[in-house]
């Protein structure tokens, strides 16, 4: 849940590591720290609680000797967000930064304490530093000491390690948590995510699990923890550029990423529609063989909501039954799904621990697995038999926006692919669906280009002044409603819930009274009349209603009008409005939009 950076090369390391950390700050903002070799050849450690800016101020004027350095941005899991608990952690000559959770840290702490090691923090990471130090005393070899220490550790981790007695070496290793290698000019990087080092190189290699990256004067060596034959590094160029990870003229990354939705759709479609034939080609799925008798989506948060849309779309176009499961629940239940079913894990980062665990659970039981993710080379792409990349590019804002839009596009493509493979339920309907999808980027771009921000701000004032917000929807609108509620909670901290419209009368309607706001997206034309019945029930009980609707779905003027549409593309328009409504409300309230409290972008722990 944290972010780490490691660097070794000819540049002054302190400013470089701080700049790299600024591109990882979305991964945590409870504390930050750096470690580097000072002019006297000793390792200097600087740490600060709170946001990265506190560390930057602390390091003002400090310079390190060219060579290895490490940095860390923390989202607290073990111990309060204090300076004592901030990384890097030190034990003798060993200095460590860590992302993940050490599950047996209590028993290791007791053992190490009995051996004379003392602890100055509440973190599980300090255990790792002491373990490596223990083995370094006898081996004098940094990478070997790391290897021996990991035999004692249970849990997930990505580590970057320095040793004061080995000033030309940097070591990294991972299990469960992400860690990528970057190769620059006479330099190497270790990082939790690509944007950290994108300014200096686009050559990237995901570090395989249980492989130590030992970087020293002789270059990079990849040493399996089990002692088997060293691996050969293979770097690939990622198609991102540094500008893609910058805010540009926008106030926040979230705002920028909402307006990048059309590009996310377009890039996700690229190369996946047969020219002149009007059909979807997903060559990535060839390895999965024939169409499945059943599909089970496993996902968390926003990805779960995209999966609910996937169920609607797939079941509308094919006869394949679809289930959608919360990954954290699915992974611990006995599997009761059809033989030959596909289990589809949806995750923006490709590192979501619960989704990885759910996919691993299914794979061990013999089911075919498909990953839908935004990050090439992420853990889930190596776990699954096949991968469908969403190609949204870097998403920095913690609250997902364009990645959700790209996931919507991917599951729509999957629905069209399966419709063609299984024999279309309604061939004309499928052809029309593809036409709508192909025109969606241009229509969404035009819609966002003419967006009435003043009107959205008026709605944001209603949201900010309400005591409680309920989002309702039916059919396609239900996943949009619960995603809208999640966005509002994430960045405004307002109490909000989402429900199927038909469920209001089964309990939630008791909450309706003056001061309660109900938000209703209306893009599912087949169920719009039913939804309006629910809206009138709310109005009759004194609730205020905000409708986001096209003329076809609204008997009266909506609170925010959507362009005319006769199909599923309306969900892109409604999503943009819901995202902007949450964003403008959070800005109105003075909240930190890109770094909401208690949240991190990539949830790599359970």
CA contacts within 13 A on the Cβ side of 204: 24
Within 10 Å of residue 233's Cβ, how many Cβ atoms?
Answer: 16
Query: Which candidate in 2, 59, 163, 300 is catalytic?
Result: 2
Active-site pick, 256, 402, 487, 601: 601
Per the annotation, the verdict on 51 as an active-site residue is no
Element (H, E) at 204: strand 203-206
Q: Which residues pair with 171 in a beta bridge?
A: 161, 214
**Separation CA 151–CA 228 (nearest Å):** 15
117 in helix, strand or coil?
Answer: coil
> Taking CA 300 as the corner, what is the angle to CA 369 and CA 22, rounded to the nearest 5 degrees?
105
Per-residue tokens: 299: 């996902």
2 catalytic per annotation: yes
Q: Which two tokens stand for residue 121?
A: 């923090």
- Separation CA 517–CA 530 (nearest Å): 19
Q: How far apart are CA 127 and CA 118, in angstroms?
A: 10
In DSSP terms, 545 is beta-bridged to 518
Is omega for the bond preceding 88 within 30 degrees of 0, making it cis? Answer: yes
Question: Strand 544-549 relative to strand 560-561: parallel, antiparallel, unpaired?
Answer: parallel
Cα separation, 45 vs 129, whole angstroms? 14
Q: What is the number of residues in the chain? A: 606
CB 13 within 8 A of CB 64: yes
The answer to whether 19 touches 11, Cβ cutoff 8 Å, is no
User: Which residue, 219, 313, 246, 299, is CA-closest to 483?
Assistant: 299
**Residues catalogued as catalytic:** 2, 601
């Amino acid at each position: 849940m944290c972010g780490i950076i490691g660097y070794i090369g000819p540049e002054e390391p302190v400013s470089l590591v701080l700049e790299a950390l600024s591109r990882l700050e979305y991964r945590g903002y409870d504390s930050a720290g750096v470690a580097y070799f000072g002019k006297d050849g000793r390792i200097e450690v600087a740490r600060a609680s709170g946001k990265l800016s506190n560390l930057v101020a602390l390091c003002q004027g400090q310079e390190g000797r060219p060579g290895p350095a490490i940095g860390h941005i923390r989202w607290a899991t073990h111990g309060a967000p204090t300076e004592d608990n901030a990384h890097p952690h030190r034990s003798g000559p060993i200095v460590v930064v860590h992302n993940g959770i050490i599950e047996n840290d209590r028993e290791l702490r007791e053992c190490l304490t009995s051996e004379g090691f003392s602890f100055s923090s509440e973190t599980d990471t300090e255990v790792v530093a002491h373990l490596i130090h223990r083995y370094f005393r006898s081996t004098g070899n940094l990478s070997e000491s790391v290897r021996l220490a990991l035999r004692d550790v249970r849990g997930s981790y990505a580590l970057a390690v320095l040793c004061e007695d080995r000033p030309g070496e940097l070591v990294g290793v991972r299990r469960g948590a992400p860690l990528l290698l970057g190769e620059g000019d006479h330099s190497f990087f270790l990082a939790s995510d690509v944007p950290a080092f994108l300014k200096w190189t686009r050559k990237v290699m995901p570090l395989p699990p249980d492989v130590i990256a030992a970087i020293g004067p002789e270059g990079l060596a990849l040493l399996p923890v089990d002692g088997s034959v060293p691996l050969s590094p293979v770097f690939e160029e990622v198609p991102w550029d540094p500008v893609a990870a910058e805010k540009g003229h926008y106030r926040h990354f979230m705002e920028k990423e909402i307006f990048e939705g059309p590009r996310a759709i377009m890039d996700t479609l690229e190369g996946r529609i047969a020219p002149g034939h009007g059909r979807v080609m997903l060559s990535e799925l060839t390895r999965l063989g024939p169409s499945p008798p059943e599909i089970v989506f496993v996902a968390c948060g926003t990805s779960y909501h995209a999966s609910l849309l996937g169920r609607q779309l797939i079941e509308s176009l094919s006869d394949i039954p679809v289930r959608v499961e919360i990954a954290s629940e699915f992974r611990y239940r006995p599997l009761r799904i059809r033989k030959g079913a596909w289990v589809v894990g949806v995750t923006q980062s490709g590192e979501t621990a619960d989704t990885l665990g759910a996919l691993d659970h299914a794979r061990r039981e013999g089911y075919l697995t498909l990953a839908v993710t935004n990050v090439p080379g992420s853990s889930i792409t190596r776990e699954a038999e096949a991968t469908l990349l969403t190609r949204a590019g870097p998403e920095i804002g913690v609250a997902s926006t364009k990645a959700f839009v790209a996931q919507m596009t991917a599951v729509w493509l999957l629905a069209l692919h399966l419709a063609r493979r299984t024999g279309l339920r309604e061939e004309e309907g499928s052809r029309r669906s593809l036409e709508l999808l192909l025109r969606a980027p241009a229509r969404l771009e035009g819609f966002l280009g003419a967006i009435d921000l003043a009107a959205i701000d008026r709605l944001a004032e209603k949201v900010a002044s309400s005591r409680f917000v309920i989002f309702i929807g039916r059919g396609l609108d239900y996943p949009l409603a619960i995603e809208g509620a999640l966005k509002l909670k994430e960045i405004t901290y307002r109490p909000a819930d989402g429900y199927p419209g038909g469920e209001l009368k089964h309990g939630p309607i008791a909450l309706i009274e003056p001061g309660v706001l109900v938000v209703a997206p209306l893009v599912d034309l087949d169920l719009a009349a039913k939804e309006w019945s629910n809206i009138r029930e709310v109005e009759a009980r004194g609730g205020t209603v905000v409708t986001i609707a096209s003329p076809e779905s609204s008997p009266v003027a909506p609170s925010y009008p959507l362009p005319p549409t006769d199909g599923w593309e309306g969900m892109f328009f409604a999503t943009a409005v819901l995202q902007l409504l949450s964003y403008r409300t959070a800005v109105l309230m003075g909240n930190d939009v890109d770094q909401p409290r208690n949240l991190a972008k990539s949830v790599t722990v359970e």
